[in-house]
Amino acid sequence: MSASSEKFWTPMRIASTVVVLAICAVIGVTLFSSGSTEKVADNNTAQNVNTLQTANKNQPQSQQQQQGSQLPTRLEDLPEMPDAALGAKIEDINGKNFRLSDYKGKVVLINLWATWCGPCRSEIPELIKIREEFAGQDFEVVGLNISPNMDDLDSIRKFVEEMKIPYTTAQVDMELASVLMSGNGSIPQSYLITRDGKIYRRFIGYGRSVPQKLRQAIQEALNLK
């Protein structure tokens, strides 16, 4: 080793390099860890709704167990969607009332989004295609706008018309939005719900790999007995 190299690699610089490499390793494991919560790594396309973030201790127990865990192999072991979400009365943009529990018997993709969210705008055309592909197979998409502070109904209706969104779309209040976000304020995010109201997958963020992952998960959920 030359004198210049020895002078450059001081004990302090060596220690700093080790720390940086360790941090990078932790980040890599977090982004690409497998489990029933899918976090999109490619493009890092997700936006944050800071007002909806809550402490993890406020998450339903089933949600805490789901995040970062391996997908259960049995239907009965899947976490359930909180009753506060399934039973909440929601009014769609056309004034029709419904509950998520009304979709019992179908596999449902619940998409959380906002008009100002760029990744949401990129994902919605793919959701429209996916809905068409699975038409007639006991599958439905429900779009829930979770930004009542920044989106009004007129802007949502205009957005739905421009994007030609064919599935049920509604705006939820802050209380229900917080339940649905369950401690993670990133959008878009989607829940894939089984026929009996259990959470099969949760997707957070949007990237190139998401549409195919959604299709695969939907088909798997439809095959569950």
For every residue of 100-134, DSSP letters joined together read GGGGTTSEEEEEEE-TT-HHHHHHHHHHHHHHHHT
Among 21-25, 154-158, 177-181, 202-206, the range scoring the smallest mean pLDDT is 21-25
- Determine contact, residues 56/175, Cβ cutoff 8 Å: no
Q: Which residue has the higher pLDDT, 2 or 32?
A: 2
The string of pLDDT tens digits covering residues 134-146 is: 999 999 999 999 9
**pLDDT(71) > 80:** no
- For the cut 80, the answer to whether the pLDDT of residue 156 exceeds it is yes
Determine if the peptide bond prior to 211 is cis (ω within 30°): no
Q: What is the pLDDT of residue 30?
A: 29
Tell whether the model's pLDDT for residue 187 goes beyond 70. yes
The answer to whether domain 36-223 has CATH 3.40.30.10 is yes
Residue pair 63/191 in contact by the 8 Å Cβ criterion: no
pLDDT above 80 (res 4):
no
Confidence grade of residue 182 (pLDDT, cut at 50, 70, 90): confident
Q: Percentage of the chain with pLDDT > 90?
A: 59
pLDDT of 210 over the 90 cut: yes
Please tell me what DSSP assigns to residue 72. P
pTM over 0.75: no
Residue 89 scores a pLDDT above 50: yes
Query: How far apart (Å, rounded) are the C-alpha atoms in residues 84 and 181?
Result: 12
In angstroms, what CA-CA distances link 106 with 58, 82, 109, 185? Answer: 28, 17, 10, 27
Query: Strand locations in the chain, DSSP E?
Result: 37-39, 47-48, 90-91, 97-98, 107-113, 139-145, 168-171, 186-187, 189-193, 199-204
Domain ranges of the chain: 1-32, 36-223
Buried b (16+ CB within 10 A) or exposed e, 131-160: beebeeeebbbbbbbbbbeebeeebbeebb
Q: How confident is the model at residue 9 (pLDDT cuts 50, 70, 90)?
A: low
How far apart CA 65 and CA 52 sit, in angstroms, is 20
**Phi, psi torsion values for 194, nearest 5 degrees:** -75, 175
| pLDDT value of residue 15 | 52
Rg (CA), the chain: 21
Q: What average pLDDT does the chain have?
A: 78
